[in-house]
Amino acid sequence: MSAEFGPRLRALLTERDMTLRGTARALNYNVAYISRVANGRQRPSVQLAEALDELLQADGELVRLSTPVTPLDEPTGPASDIAHMKASAEHILKHADRYGGDAVAPVAVQVWQSAQRRLDAGEIPESAQRGYVAAVAEAAEVAGWLLFDSGDRVAARNAFLESHMLARHAGERAMEWFALDMLAMLDTECGRPGGVRRITDELLSQSRIPPRVALLARVRRGRALAQTGDRQRALADLDAARGGVEESLSSRDPEWAWWVNQQEIVGHSGHALLSLADLNAAILKFQSALAHATPRGVMLYRIELLHSYARAKAWGKAEEEIHEIGPLLSTITSGRNRLLLREALKVVDRASGVPVGLSALVRHTAATISP
């Protein structure tokens, strides 16, 4: 990161008559994180630099200033490995957010396991151990997320479990919470509500848990309760999470919780309502989430809309969604989304009263989905 980023950010905030807290609220970021970035004590993530650039109408200046400067003679050793892991994660995650995780998941696994091998072989000096272990824990989390997005749930679980163990060893509570949240996410997707409840109950029982970690635990627990048919408690958890988004900003929140916003919770509410077979309400939630989604999120919410329309036997709407999804398949390569799309197409194919044309379209689409 250029040394000019912090001063330029502060100057732009002054010019726009904006405060750090107001900026944090506008972007749904931790105000302490933005304060550290503005004062040059921490490098901004790619996502934060882009969000600040857009909010402050800086015409790409902040993004350029946030780009790390790589020396011609790159140093070697633990510090270099840590810098490489962090820089790789930023670029990999940015790619995956737009195009899906399939292509970059193997790269993330390579970065993680290469560093893990050095750690296991005892090559890291004692003085650098803690920071190195924390960096490897984070690399394992990134790999786990991308393996999950590429549809390899077993490998994703192994990565998240390894990340949790490493984070605990390094004394990195924030990363421990993140690994647990990822494991709860995976159990939700795999239809294991009991596993989700055990994780979220553990998180919510901890003293002084940061507000946004608690909020996410309630979201995960709400999804799990919906899967068991407990409508009242499921919606109570999700409503509490949605109502607490703005108030949950705290200096104790971990940096990884930046993405939590109203639309994410709306999307989770749609999933819960779909589990509860409240199809009309689920459709409204997915439509709302779709309007503010990232490119990868667009595909996910369109698949869930197809699933909802199929269960509601709204055949015309289901056909429209399939036509919308088709062009995305060649751009967004996410094994997770292909799994979900196959499931949604099966719901249509097995339903009674499906128009002949739609049935043919479903089978053609299913045949074009790569394994």
Q: Could you read off the pLDDT of 101-151 as tens digits, one per residue?
A: 899 999 999 999 999 999 999 999 988 999 999 999 999 999 999 999 999
pLDDT at 193: 97
Per the CB < 8 A criterion, the answer to whether 282 and 321 are in contact is no
Distances from the Cα of 228 to the Cαs of 201, 232, 288, in angstroms?
16, 11, 25
Instruction: Express as a percent the part of the chain with pLDDT over 90.
Output: 56
The pLDDT of 257-266, averaged and rounded, is 79
The pLDDT of 358-364, averaged and rounded, is 95
Residue 30 has pLDDT above 70, yes or no: yes
Q: What's the residue count for the chain?
A: 371
Burial environment of residue 37 by CB neighbours within 10 A (0 to 12, 13 to 18, 19 or more) = buried
The pLDDT of 45-62, averaged and rounded, is 85
Residue 67 has pLDDT above 80, yes or no: no
Alpha carbons 17 and 3: distance in angstroms, whole number: 23
User: Dihedral (C-alpha) 256, 225, 157, 213: value to the nearest 10 degrees?
Assistant: 20
Alpha carbons 268 and 188: distance in angstroms, whole number: 11
When comparing pLDDT for 250 and 352, which is higher?
352
Per the CB < 8 A criterion, the answer to whether 270 and 282 are in contact is yes
The pLDDT of 265-277, averaged and rounded, is 96
Per the CB < 8 A criterion, the answer to whether 303 and 315 are in contact is no
Q: What is the pTM of this model?
A: 0.79
Distances from the Cα of 348 to the Cαs of 38, 115, 316, 333, 363, in angstroms?
51, 45, 12, 23, 10
Residue 70 has pLDDT above 70, yes or no: no
Alpha carbons 260 and 256: distance in angstroms, whole number: 9
Superfamily of domain 1-69: lambda repressor-like DNA-binding domains (1.10.260.40)
pLDDT at 208: 82
* 233: Cβ contacts below 8 Å, ≥ 6 apart: 222, 225
Residue 170 has pLDDT above 60, yes or no: yes
Residue 258 has pLDDT above 70, yes or no: no
The pLDDT of 149-175, averaged and rounded, is 95
The lowest-confidence range among 45-49, 114-118, 236-240 is: 45-49
Please provide the average confidence, as pLDDT, over all residues in the chain: 89
- Banded pLDDT at 76 (limits 50, 70, 90): low
Residue 366 has pLDDT above 60, yes or no: yes
- Banded pLDDT at 53 (limits 50, 70, 90): confident
pLDDT at 69: 53
Query: In the chain, what is the greatest distance between 2 CA atoms, to the nearest angstrom?
Result: 68
